[in-house]
Amino acid sequence: MRRPILTANWKMHKTRAQAAAFVTVLREQLGHTTEVDVVIAAPFTSLAAVHEGLLGSEIALAAQNVCAEAEGAFTGEISPAMLADAGCHYCIVGHSERRALYGEQDAEISRKAAALLGVGIRPIVCVGETLEEREADRTADIVASQLAGSLTDVETAAIGELVVAYEPVWAIGTGHTATPEQAQEVHLLIRARLRERFGASGADIRIQYGGSVKPENVVAIMAQPDIDGALVGGASLAPDSFAKIVRYESQENRAT
Ligand code: PEP
Q: Confirm whether 112 is domain-assigned.
A: yes
Using one digit for the tens of pLDDT, what is the confidence trace for 146-203? 999 999 999 998 899 999 999 999 999 888 888 999 999 999 999 999 999 999 999 9
Nearest CA to ligand 1 atom 4: 233
In this structure, what CATH number is given to the domain that contains residue 110? 3.20.20.70
Q: Confirm whether 57 is domain-assigned.
A: yes
Nearest CA to ligand 1 atom 8: 233
pLDDT of residue 254: 56
Going from the Cα of 214 to the center of ligand 1, the distance in angstroms, rounded, reads 10
Nearest CA to ligand 1 atom 6: 233
207 SS3 class: strand
Domain that holds residue 101: 5-247
CB 123 within 8 A of CB 103: no
Q: Confirm whether 252 is domain-assigned.
A: no
97 catalytically annotated: no
Low-confidence ranges of the chain (pLDDT < 50): 256
Beta pairing partners, 88? 61
Q: Confirm whether 253 is domain-assigned.
A: no
pLDDT of residue 233: 97
**In this structure, what DSSP letter does residue 5 have?**
E
Q: Confirm whether 218 is domain-assigned.
A: yes
pLDDT of residue 175: 82
Going from the Cα of 195 to the center of ligand 1, the distance in angstroms, rounded, reads 27
**What distance in Å separates the CA atoms of residue 45 and residue 221, rounded to the nearest whole number?**
32
Domains identified in the chain, total number: 1
**What distance in Å separates the CA atoms of residue 153 and residue 237, rounded to the nearest whole number?**
33
